[in-house]
Every structure is written in structure tokens, then in C-alpha cells.
Amino acid sequence: MKTLHVELGDRSYPIHIGTGLLDNGDLLLPHIIGSEVLVVTNETIAPLYLDRLLPVLAGKKIGTVILPDGERFKTLDTLAIIYQQLLELRHSRKTTLIALGGGVVGDMTGYAAASYQRGVNFIQIPTTLLSQVDSSVGGKTGVNHPLGKNMIGAFHQPVAVLADVATLDTLPAREFSSGLAEVIKYGLIGDSAFYQWLHENIQALIGRDRAALEYAVEQSCANKARVVAADERESGLRATLNFGHSFGHAIETAQGYKGLLHGEAIAVGMVMAADLSSRLGNISPPEVDRLRSLLVRANLPCKVPAGMAAEEFMTHMAVDKKVADGVLRLVLLKSIGDAFVTAEYGGHLLDAVLQDYCG
Amino acid sequence: MKTLHVELGDRSYPIHIGTGLLDNGDLLLPHIIGSEVLVVTNETIAPLYLDRLLPVLAGKKIGTVILPDGERFKTLDTLAIIYQQLLELRHSRKTTLIALGGGVVGDMTGYAAASYQRGVNFIQIPTTLLSQVDSSVGGKTGVNHPLGKNMIGAFHQPVAVLADVATLDTLPAREFSSGLAEVIKYGLIGDSAFYQWLHENIQALIGRDRAALEYAVEQSCANKARVVAADERESGLRATLNFGHSFGHAIETAQGYKGLLHGEAIAVGMVMAADLSSRLGNISPPEVDRLRSLLVRANLPCKVPAGMAAEEFMTHMAVDKKVADGVLRLVLLKSIGDAFVTAEYGGHLLDAVLQDYCG
């Protein structure tokens, strides 16, 4: 087992990464300050792992909430189910929420914890690759609004994260690949050595080799933790974590979150952002091709879904959070392993990319 | 004009207190960082003051939201109206929300600001005595849930507060007195000299003498700011600000927020808490009578509404935030001007108070 420490002053917390951590009480119990625990999970994960987690919490006043599964349920209405349960059980400010599941469960549980009685503790037990490498690090919590993704939320750090790569055994192949998109992102934006390692080890990862998985999760979390520690509130550096996300969110929004998975949409977005970076002369065209090849080996798409028009991108990107005072900022590459945020990409180059990919 | 500074590190902010501040652009504009502003007010306040505020913001991209008036609208559903407007206007993270109104408008606007895109700036322009002395200081924001008051929310500090005592001219007498309850509370819990001043000046306040009002608002804010600065997250000292509130909230909840006003319920709660403090031997019975007399002169009630049973208090107080791990903590007086939080009040004494007041 490896343990990373996310350094955020009095909000610092450990991320434990290993195999078979799910029912390890020694890792979990020290982070539960009171006698009240609410485990939030979903219909898919509950039958797989809830019965392994609950015995660890024996003696606590335990509540469980089993949410419907899917990004389309990441709403204020679903959040209300968690509040209702907390209030019916009369959980106090000393309650601890445990998110057992993927990013949607984590984001909603985290936001419920941020807002219940103005803030209670929560622990993340991410059971998807995406949530192990992305949403469990950094304290971003929240829900979607019909007019935009993650538009309502809070920064709220967990008190601990347990990333058990054994839980990835039950993850469907598409969702596993979706997580790999974010793993690849960390290499692209800040760690060229890790990016090279990924090219050499993508087959082992696809085969769910546990040692490779532990290394990839650890490197991803370490890269994200480094960025978050330097910029907790996303004033600058942290925005580079959104590489590929402006394009990707536009795809997800256009599809009503019913088409590509998050990581799949981000994979397409990363190719588009890399291509724009190439047109600006920052990276070479072969480097864009090499990225495409890695994504293909990871079973990820590189093309915009058929039927989506360039105008749709602009509409949905305009409400994106990278818009400040009407100017759309994008995360682009200076080189492989080095991303930056800029509004200086030339509107005509962006237009050209959108036209080419929406052809 | 007086200016207080609430010292909270990088979240410090000024409170300007005076007469005719509402349309003073020199005070307001420096706190608006971008070009986007959303003014949130209600149906009662909009016709009185919105047209005076809007010209100050000329040149900004202004949105307005006019909410229905009343505590019963302090809900997640009403909050959704604010989110909807922000998203339809495509306001970015650099937007500034302005709360123009009383505590309900301030709490909801503040929480919308805390949660929109995980946090944007907001400015408070409180137009009731209660909100000038209470909800505009301290960063508590949130909404009610059918199962409990202020159960969903965040700590989110405004970037500035403009308390214009001239706006109190239009405040109905009952609401004005309701605000006086909180003013009196500050004397009781932390400032015996101010408590004495209140006994001597209650008539001037009731007559809305502006000099007296400015002094009372300033002293109240200074007292609250001192407590909040020492304990922003309510781990200890700050809880003393809830003096009278456990009892008061129980009354409001039992009445479904349709009976006594907040300050009226708190007035009754303060008498009950003072009485319990007296039964513990901390203050003398004549001091409880002297408090009752001050409240009566302020046109505030001292008795529990007819028909409310002692059992109802216990039911509603059990979900109160002062409950930690099943133990009900209360804010009581050590002496006049000195409050503390305790679970050591003897259940039989609490029962006796409840029986006497629910007689």
C-alpha cells in the first residue's frame, strides 16, 4: 500500500492506494470523529461492496442511502434524498459521510457533506478508476444544473481517501477506459515521464494488472495533489487540470449526458486541445498522432460524435467556467507535459479545429 | 458613518454603518471585481429601494431577482430561482451577487454565492434591523429544510456590508422589535455596559432615533464581529451567539415559521435561557425580571405561544445544531454579559422551565 498526503494546511488528508483496502478498519475508523456515519452509494455498487464495508463500521449509528446510478441523477433533487436521510436520522454536525462509489456518488456526497449544517466530514472510497484518479483528489464537490455541468457546488476536502484498485475488477470496460483518459491527461499536462510510461504500459493497464494500476493511480493522484496543493481554489495552475474539458463538457452537454462517458468525451476534447496546440506551433503534428494512438490503444474515441455542429460547441463552451468576463479561456499545451491557460489562441484557429472535427 | 472591519485573514471585510449609504457608489463599486452583478431582493423591498440602488451600478451587466417575501420561502426551491437566473444570464465566476433586503434575502443570496460555480463574491445591503445586526455579520448562509431550520448552508463571507439605518424607516414595528431582540442579546452574552446602555436608551431606539440606531447597530456588529473573528467555524465561543436560539427555533419550527417572528421567538427563548441560568444560581431572579421588563419595553413577547407543549420543545430541540452525539447543549449565562455553552444544566431544571413556560 502507498499513502500520499495532500498538503492543504488544516485540511490536509491522506490518500491510501492499494489492493483490498475496502474493509480495512485501521485505515477507516481513525477518520470518523463521532458515532454517526452515513454511507452513500448507488444501486450498482451497493450489491458489490456495501456488505463488505458495513461490518467495519459496527458499533456506529449507521445510515445508508442507495442512489440511482448515473450522471443524470447528479442533481439538486437527488441531493435532497441525502439531506432527508440525515435529518430523519437526526445526524448532528459530528456525523461522517462516506462516499462508496464513483465520481457521481463522490461529488454528491461531498457536496452534501459541505452543505449539511454548513459542513461535516466525509471520506471517499472511490470504486471507479476515474474517481480514484480525479474526483477523489482536490475537494471539488457539487451537482449539475439543466443549464450547465457542476454549476452548483463547493470546495470541500475529504478527511481521507481509500483507493482500492481491487474494486476496479468489477468495472465495465468502457468505464475503465474512461478513467484512463484522465490518467493520460496527467501525463500530458504535467509529467512527460509518466506520459512515456503510459505509452509503454497501456496494455498492462488495460489488462488490469494490479501493480501497474497502483502505480498509475499513485502517479495520477500525486500529480493532481501537487497542482491542488499549489492552487486549492482554482485561480490559475489548477485550471490546467481541465485540459480537454471545455470541449469534452460541450459534448456531454450537447448529448444531455446520455452519449459518451465523461472520460470518453474528455479523450475527444484532449485531441482537439492538442490539435489546437499544434496549430499554434506548440507541439508537432506527430505528437498529436501519437496521442491519438495511445487513446485508441486505451479503447477511447478521438472523434466528435456524428451530428454535433461547431455552433453547438461554441454555445455550450460559452457557459463553461473558464469564461471570465465574456472571454473563453482554454487549457492548451506548451509542450508534452506542460499545459497553460490562455485566451490567446486566435478565434480562427479554434474555428478551424471545430470545423474539422465536426466535419 | 462608522466602518468596522471584520478580521478573518484573506476573508476580512468592512461593515459600513450610517444614514443614506444605499446609493453611495464610492462604498459599493470598489467591491465589484467584474462587470457582472446580480441583485437579489424581494417583493417588499424592491419597490422601496431597488430603483435607488440600480443607477449606482450603471455600466455593469445587471440582473435582478425579486423573490417572494418571507421565511417560508427560504428553501432549496427558491434558491433554484437564483441559480436559474445566473445561468440564463451566463454569469461567470467573477459575478458579484448583491443581497438587498432582510435576513432571508441575505441568507439565500449568500448561499447562492457560496455554491454558484463553487463560490462567487457577494455584498450585503441589509434593510432590516435584524439583518443589520445579525445575519450580515459572520458569513452564515443557507436555507431551511422541512425537517429543520438552516440545515443546508455554508460559511461564506461577504466582501462588504452596507448597513443604512435610513432603510429602517420603512420597517414595520413588529419587525423592528424583532431586530431589537438580537441587539439585546449582544448585551446579555458579552457586553454588560451595552446592556446597561440599552436599558437607558430603549425609548430612543423604539423612536428610531438615528444616532441611537447607528450606535446600537455598531455595538452589535462589533460584538458579533469580535466573536466571529475569534471562532469563524463555530467550534466554541461562536455558539454563544445562539443564546435563546435553541428555545426560539423550537417555537418557530412548532409554528411552521408562521407564528412569532424570529426575534420574537428568540426573545421568549432568551427569557427561558435566562430563567434556567437563574435556577442554576448563575444570575439572580430579579435579573430575569429586569430582562423581561426590557423586552416588554421593546414590544417583545416573554411567553411561549399558547398551546405549545413541553414535549414539542424537546422534539424540535433534539434536531437542533447544538446537539452533538445525542447530548443537547444549551447556551446559558454565567452572569449578565457572559454566556457559555454547556450540557451540565440538569435535565430536571430544563424540564421545570419547559413545564412552567408551557403552563
Q: CB–CB of A137/A218 below 8 Å?
A: no
Which of B118, B249, B328 has the highest number of chain A CBs within 10 A, making it the mutation to test binding with A? B118
B116 and A155 in contact by Cβ < 8 A?
A: no
A92: phi then psi, degrees, rounded to nearest 5: -90, -175
A93 and B324 in contact by Cβ < 8 A?
A: yes
Contacts of A34 in chain B (CB under 8 A): 324-325
Catalytic residue among A31, A91, A238, A316: A238
Candidate from B35, B87, B93 with C-beta closest to A148 = B87
Could you give the CA distance from residue A214 to residue A2 in angstroms, rounded to a whole number? 8
Could you give the CA distance from residue A150 to residue B246 in angstroms, rounded to a whole number? 35
Look at residue B163 and give its three-state secondary structure: strand
Q: What is the pLDDT of residue A327?
A: 80
- Mind listing the pLDDT tens digit for each residue in B24-56? 999 999 999 999 999 999 999 999 999 999 999
Q: What is the pLDDT of residue B257?
A: 79
Full DSSP string of A118-154? T--EEEEEE-SHHIIIIITSS-EEEEEETTEEEEEEE
Q: Which three cell numbers stand for residue B242?
A: 445562539
Contacts of B115 in chain A (CB under 8 A): 115, 142, 152-154
* Cα atoms in the 13 Å half-sphere on the side-chain side of A283: 25
Could you give the CA distance from residue B247 to residue B219 in angstroms, rounded to a whole number? 25
Residue A217 CB neighbour total at 10 angstroms: 26
Q: CB–CB of B118/A155 below 8 Å?
A: yes
Q: What is the pLDDT of residue A233?
A: 66
A114 and B154 in contact by Cβ < 8 A?
A: yes
Query: Residue A323 corresponds to which amino acid?
Result: V
Query: What CATH number labels A173-357?
Result: 1.20.1090.10
Q: Which three cell numbers stand for residue B269?
A: 427563548
Q: CB–CB of B137/B6 below 8 Å?
A: yes
Burial classification of residue B101, based on how many CB atoms lie within 10 Å of its CB (0-12 exposed, 13-18 middle, 19 or more buried)? buried
Catalytic residue among A140, A185, A279, A292: A140
Report in angstroms the alpha-carbon separations of B266 from A133, B212, B302. 48, 22, 9
User: Which residues are CB-contacts of B245 (< 8 A; sequence separation ≥ 6)?
Assistant: B266, B269, B331
Q: CB–CB of A45/A100 below 8 Å?
A: yes
Closest CA to B244 of B223, B217, B265: B265
Quote the ipTM score.
Answer: 0.84
Q: What is the pLDDT of residue B156?
A: 96
Q: What is the pLDDT of residue B236?
A: 74
**What are the residue ranges of helices labelled H in A209-259?**
210-230, 245-254
Query: What CATH number labels B2-170?
Result: 3.40.50.1970
Catalytic annotation present for B31: no
Task: Please tell me what DSSP assigns to residue A158.
Answer: -
From first to last of its 359 residues, what are the pLDDT tens digits of chain B? 999 998 888 889 999 999 999 999 999 999 999 999 999 999 999 999 999 999 999 999 999 999 999 888 999 999 999 999 999 999 999 999 999 999 999 999 999 999 999 999 999 999 999 999 988 788 999 999 989 889 999 999 999 999 999 999 999 999 999 999 999 999 999 999 999 999 999 999 999 999 999 999 999 999 998 888 887 666 678 889 999 999 999 999 899 878 999 899 999 999 999 999 999 999 999 999 999 999 999 999 999 999 999 999 988 887 655 555 678 899 999 999 999 999 999 889 999 999 999 97
Cβ density class B280-318: b for 16+ within 10 Å, e for less: bebbeeebbebbbebbebbbbbbebeeebebebbeebbe
Task: Please tell me what DSSP assigns to residue A68.
Answer: P
Could you give the CA distance from residue B110 to residue A118 in angstroms, rounded to a whole number? 12
B180: phi then psi, degrees, rounded to nearest 5: -60, -30
**Do A173-357 and A2-170 have the same topology in CATH?**
no
Domain residue spans of chain B: 2-170, 173-357
From first to last of its 359 residues, what are the pLDDT tens digits of chain A? 999 998 888 889 999 999 999 999 999 999 999 999 999 999 999 999 999 999 999 999 999 999 999 888 999 999 999 999 999 999 999 999 999 999 999 999 999 999 999 999 999 999 999 999 988 788 999 999 999 889 999 999 999 999 999 999 999 999 999 999 999 999 999 999 999 999 999 999 999 999 999 999 999 999 998 888 887 666 678 889 999 999 999 999 899 878 999 899 999 999 999 999 999 999 999 999 999 999 999 999 999 999 999 999 988 887 655 555 678 899 999 999 999 999 999 889 999 999 999 97
Indicate left, alpha or beta for A33 from its phi (over 0: left) and psi (-120 to 50: alpha).
Answer: alpha
Indicate left, alpha or beta for A307 from its phi (over 0: left) and psi (-120 to 50: alpha).
Answer: left
Catalytic annotation present for B242: yes
Q: Is B296 on the interface with A (CB under 8 A)?
A: no
Contacts of A90 in chain B (CB under 8 A): 318-319, 323
Query: Residue A100 corresponds to which amino acid?
Result: L
Using the structure block, give the residue that is written with the C-alpha cell 438552516: B150
pTM listed for this prediction: 0.86
Minimal-distance CA residue of chain A relative to B36: A325
Full DSSP string of B289-318? HHHHHHHHHTT---SPPTT--HHHHHHHHH
B115 and A153 in contact by Cβ < 8 A?
A: yes
Catalytic annotation present for A238: yes
Q: Is A34 on the interface with B (CB under 8 A)?
A: yes
